[in-house]
Structures are given as C-alpha cells and as structure tokens.
Structure 1
C-alpha cells in the first residue's frame, strides 16, 4: 500500500496539518519539527505529488534563480548564498543562465511563471527586464546585482563607493592618470562604477575626462579591447580601474602582450575578488563585494514575500519595495602598489 501523509505524520509524531505545511515549504514551522517531518518522509519514501500540490496551492517549493552570466565567479558565490538559505527553508533552486540575452531571459521568466515557482531571484539583463507577467501571476521577484524598477525588491552593492575607493587608492599610490574600463552603458552597475571613478578624480582636484573611460561588454574580450584602445590613445593612462573580474583578465592579457609590468609600468585594481586573484603575478588588488551575502539576503527577502503571499491573497507587488545596499571593501595586493 502506498505511503500516505498520515503515515508520515504518525512517524514524525506531528499532525497531518504540520506535515502539509512542512512539505509545502511554509517557513513558520519550528525548524526541529520540520527536520523531523522531512526525515520521516524520507525514511518512508513519501514524496507526495508536487504537481498536484502546485495546482492546489498555486505555489511550489521551487525558487528560480536567473543570472546573467554563469561563467562569472561572482554569480557562483551568489548562487551558493541563494541555495544555502533556500535549502534551510525547504526550497529547491532552479538555476537559469540568461547570458545577457533578452530572449533567453524572457523564455526563462515564462517557464518560471508557467511552472508556478514560489518566487524568482533575477539578475536583470543590462538593457532591463520585463517581469510584469510574474507580477500579474502574483509571483514575488527580487532583483540582485542590478536594480530593476521601483516596485521590485532589490539587493546589490554600492558600486559607486567601490569604484571611488579603487580610484582613490590608485591616486594615493602615486599613479597620476588612472583610466576606467567599465561595462556596457545600458547596465546600471557599469554607470555607477564610472560615476564613482569620476567622483574620486573630482575630489582629488583632477578634472575627470571621459577620454579616460571606456564602456565594453563584461567579458574578457571587452576588457582587452578597451585596454588596448586606452593604451593606444594620445595620452594613455598609467593605471586602470577595471569593473569586473572577466574584464580584468583581458586587461592583464593586453598589458602583458606589450611587455609592460603591472605594478611598475602600470597600476591595476579590479572589481570582484576571485580565487585566482591572489595568485597572479603580482597579486591583484580588488574591490571585494559580498557576493554570498547578496544571494543569501535576496533569498531571505524573497521568502518573506512568498510566506506573506501564502497567507494573503492580495497582490504583494503593490507593497512598498525594499532595497538592501551592501558595502564593498578594498583588498590591497601588489598590482596597485607603485614600484620604481
């Protein structure tokens, strides 16, 4: 005879209602009791019917995480933060990579809506993202890394402050003409980092010139091309602030191809700490953003919306949206230290 929810309740010594709440991902259940229920369900081989449950409750125990670049180590750390919090609350995570492609992102958003996921964590594409269909379906959305619009909860870092800190550090080390390589113009993170670069130059008494700023794709090739263009300009920079880790790789490739020595002929600060950053020669100075914390905090915010939606049939997207702005930190290594 197939195992029933009553069997699970009896084994866990709880009510059927408690088993139902745990298996439906309601976070208000005592964690110890929830663990007991899951252990009983696993021991009895009880899985329930997730499709029927979704149709009945209009909600699943699945969250969708849609990121813009799966090859970027930043998003690896974000995803870990998302999964850790989601798993603790009894949710699984569907990972989708839009690859900065608006059509791919649109398909994933539609899949999330049709699958009736409990909520969506979204790193919007540089040109913006349309989540109106999710809002109409009352599926909560939290934007990560990049802001979306005023009606959506968001978690991201203070990119302007990070860029300002990087540029001030280069100037303090004696580099006189830093340049900035940032992402595509339509990406708000790119413009925020360019803004912080300009602010640091202004505060130092140096008139910021857009001739020292290049916008490019957040890719290795984009970073290399932008570095080459700046180095070939009539008045090239003597240092670079580069706005993400992939672009930094391109910058390093181009600098080395010209026989220039980082830390001697040119200074370098990147945005994002990566596992390889301390091991290049010289080790890379970076602006570190708390990627894991971004994912974890965004998931906590999303689950708050999910749990409210499960007890309130009104449209949660009409509530006042919340924004969490996290701080960056400067990690000084050899690439930015001027050695004669």
Structure 2
C-alpha cells in the first residue's frame, strides 16, 4: 500500500511537504506541488478517507509517549502536558514505553489507528527508524532529543546546562569533581559530558578521569559506588550527577561513610525533580523542567494541528537554569593561602 513517504520519495521532497501540499492549509512552492500531485497520480496514492473525514472535526486526542513513568522526571512532564492539552480542549493519551523501542512502535501504530491529532514524543532509544513511517503523516514534536529527521525537535542545551553546573563547582574552588554518569549510551549523556570537559579545560583540571563514576544503574548502585568512592585516599571534594535520580543513593552513601554534605563534599544534580528540594540539605541542581517550556512545546504542536499539516525539520534549544540551594560550599581555591 502506497503511503505518504512513498509519495515524498518519488517527488523528491520531504513527507512534511507532501502533508502541507495535500492539506492545502499551508503554502508550498508551485514547482514542488506539481511534482507531488504528479507523484500522487502516478503512484495511485489514496489518502485514508475515514481519517480525513474525522480530521475535519479532529479527534481532540493527543498522544504522549514517554520512556519510563517510574523515572521521577516524567510524572512532572505528564502533569504539565496534561494541563496544556486540557486548556486547549484536548485529551491526552499517555503511552509508557518502558524503555522499549518495540513498545514505542506499537504505540505509534495504536495512536495512528485512533486518529490522534498530534503526538508528543520523548524517545527511549537512539535509533528511531520505527518512528520514521509516521513522520510527515501525523503532526509531531520530538521532545528532549535532537534527531536528523523531518520533524521539529525541542531540547535543552545539555552541554551548556552541565557547563553551568560544573563551572559553579569550579568557581567555588572545587577541582576534584566526580562525574556520575548513568548506564545508558545516550545523546544527552554525551552532550552533558562535553559541557563538563569544557569546564575542566578552562580550569586546567587534568586528572578528572580518576573521579568518573560510570554506568550508574539505579539509586542502589549510586549508593554502592558512593561508598566505594568515599573510601578513596584522594577522594573528590564534589560530585556532579547527570540526573537527580541518583541523588538519593549518593546522599545515603555519603552519610553512611560518616561524611556530611556540604561540609565534607559538595553535590550538584541535573533535572530538579520535585523531591530533591526536600533532601537534607536541599540539592543544588540544574533545572530541566517542562514547567518552564511546556507552553512553547505544546503551541508548536497546536499550530500543526490547527492547520492539519506536519511541520518540517527544525531544532529549538532551551537553556537550563541552575537552582542554588544548600548542597555546595566554597573551599579554598588552589594557590590561596
């Protein structure tokens, strides 16, 4: 069966351009539109008439695909997207992929079957080949990731965010900074590491690798790895965690080692999940919250849904914001008496 991607390939344009041309709701260059209509005719492409009929009124449904609801970052994502959807007169269908690309693929098929008006997608994996058949067919925003696809991607500037966090530690005199990196080989981890290395380069910190704690799988793993790190003869004076989920294990490991935060060791996180402000002491962290950006994200999807078109590739980056609380103390800078 011929699909919209087949028409796009035949006409030498993107799926989103085909979508705009066929809907008639957005301008497409006459030359391109002529190629598209010729492809439609020669391929005998027939749009789903039932879907088109439903789309005139709209299903008033939006799919939200997330990687894992057990991650404390995502309940807040659901909350703010639900608020945006409700205020705009839409209902949200929550799809928890459990970190499984196969479940994502199933959800995309289901959401298409339900004729959702749009999809907000937070990827579980780096490979999104299973998503490409739906790009240009359903209005979509890819959130918290940046992929080379013909759809809008909205993401935090991870490198700048981690740079802010680690620079704050360096400005407070810390040079022995441990990096806690989770067990996933993900784009955001590589970007956050790049930001850290930029600080290390600026402050001439060369022995950072001995303090890198990799493959942190869980809170319990963070706890065990912290116990081990705190036993080191030349232990770090500060820890930067690539996500706040590790904080509970790190705090427990430091306390169990007979040390205090921030008197003996400073700690900075990433995400600002709701619970970390209640830790003792409250965690200084890099705020990465859809509370700050959900309105903009939803509006970009709403514009596609209003015009019944799929937007072309674009990249939008938001800056993170360091939330200073009580988990960092200033120590003597090298060279100071």
The alignment's TM-score, normalised by the length of structure 2, stands at 0.75
Question: Does 2:54 correspond to 1:57?
Answer: yes
Q: Which residue of 2 aligns with 1:132?
A: 132
In the alignment, the residues of structure 1 paired with residue 217 and residue 109 of structure 2 have an alpha-carbon distance, to the nearest angstrom, of 26
In the alignment, the residues of structure 1 paired with residue 123 and residue 141 of structure 2 have an alpha-carbon distance, to the nearest angstrom, of 10
Listed one character per residue, the Cα deviations across residues 178-224 of structure 1 (whole Å, up to 9, x for unaligned) are 01112345211111111111111111121264343333356423433
Q: Structure 1 residues 326-335 or 57-66, which shifts more?
A: 57-66
Listed one character per residue, the Cα deviations across residues 68-100 of structure 1 (whole Å, up to 9, x for unaligned) are 121333322222332222222221110111121
In the alignment, the residues of structure 2 paired with residue 102 and residue 165 of structure 1 have an alpha-carbon distance, to the nearest angstrom, of 32
Q: 1:259 to 1:94 in 2, by over 3 A?
A: same
Q: Which residue of 2 aligns with 1:42?
A: none
Count residues with an aligned counterpart. Answer: 281
In the alignment, the residues of structure 2 paired with residue 219 and residue 69 of structure 1 have an alpha-carbon distance, to the nearest angstrom, of 14
In the alignment, the residues of structure 2 paired with residue 302 and residue 259 of structure 1 have an alpha-carbon distance, to the nearest angstrom, of 50
Q: 1:205 to 1:234 in 2, by over 3 A?
A: same
Counting only pairs closer than 5 Å after superposition, residues 170-249 of structure 1 correspond to structure 2 as 170-207=169-206, 209-216=208-215, 219-228=218-227, 230-231=229-230, 235-249=234-248
In the alignment, the residues of structure 1 paired with residue 59 and residue 232 of structure 2 have an alpha-carbon distance, to the nearest angstrom, of 55
Listed one character per residue, the Cα deviations across residues 106-138 of structure 1 (whole Å, up to 9, x for unaligned) are 2222211222211111110133333123126x1
In the alignment, the residues of structure 2 paired with residue 217 and residue 300 of structure 1 have an alpha-carbon distance, to the nearest angstrom, of 36
Question: Does 2:255 correspond to 1:250?
Answer: no
Q: Which residue of 2 aligns with 1:266?
A: 265
The alignment's TM-score, normalised by the length of structure 1, stands at 0.74
Q: Residue 297 of structure 1 aligns to a residue in which SS?
A: helix
Any conservation in 2 of the 1:264–1:338 contact (CA below 8 Å)? Answer: no
Q: 1:283 to 1:126 in 2, by over 3 A?
A: same
Q: Residue 300 of structure 2 aligns to a residue in which SS?
A: helix
Any conservation in 2 of the 1:159–1:193 contact (CA below 8 Å)? Answer: yes
2:320 aligned residue (308, 321, 328): 328
Give the alignment's Cα RMSD to 1 decimal: 2.6
Q: Residue 73 of structure 2 aligns to a residue in which SS?
A: helix
In the alignment, the residues of structure 1 paired with residue 249 and residue 217 of structure 2 have an alpha-carbon distance, to the nearest angstrom, of 10
Question: Does 2:139 correspond to 1:147?
Answer: no
Q: Which residue of 2 aligns with 1:25?
A: none
Any conservation in 1 of the 2:239–2:268 contact (CA below 8 Å)? Answer: yes
Q: 1:214 to 1:191 in 2, by over 3 A?
A: farther
Any conservation in 1 of the 2:177–2:208 contact (CA below 8 Å)? Answer: no
In the alignment, the residues of structure 2 paired with residue 60 and residue 99 of structure 1 have an alpha-carbon distance, to the nearest angstrom, of 26
Question: Does 2:89 correspond to 1:90?
Answer: yes
Any conservation in 2 of the 1:119–1:302 contact (CA below 8 Å)? Answer: yes
Q: Structure 1 residues 158-167 or 77-86, which shifts more?
A: 77-86
Any conservation in 2 of the 1:145–1:157 contact (CA below 8 Å)? Answer: yes
In the alignment, the residues of structure 2 paired with residue 294 and residue 223 of structure 1 have an alpha-carbon distance, to the nearest angstrom, of 30
Any conservation in 1 of the 2:230–2:257 contact (CA below 8 Å)? Answer: no
In the alignment, the residues of structure 2 paired with residue 119 and residue 191 of structure 1 have an alpha-carbon distance, to the nearest angstrom, of 30
In the alignment, the residues of structure 1 paired with residue 120 and residue 147 of structure 2 have an alpha-carbon distance, to the nearest angstrom, of 11
Q: 1:290 to 1:102 in 2, by over 3 A?
A: same
Q: Which runs of 5+ in 2 are unaligned?
A: 1-48, 333-337
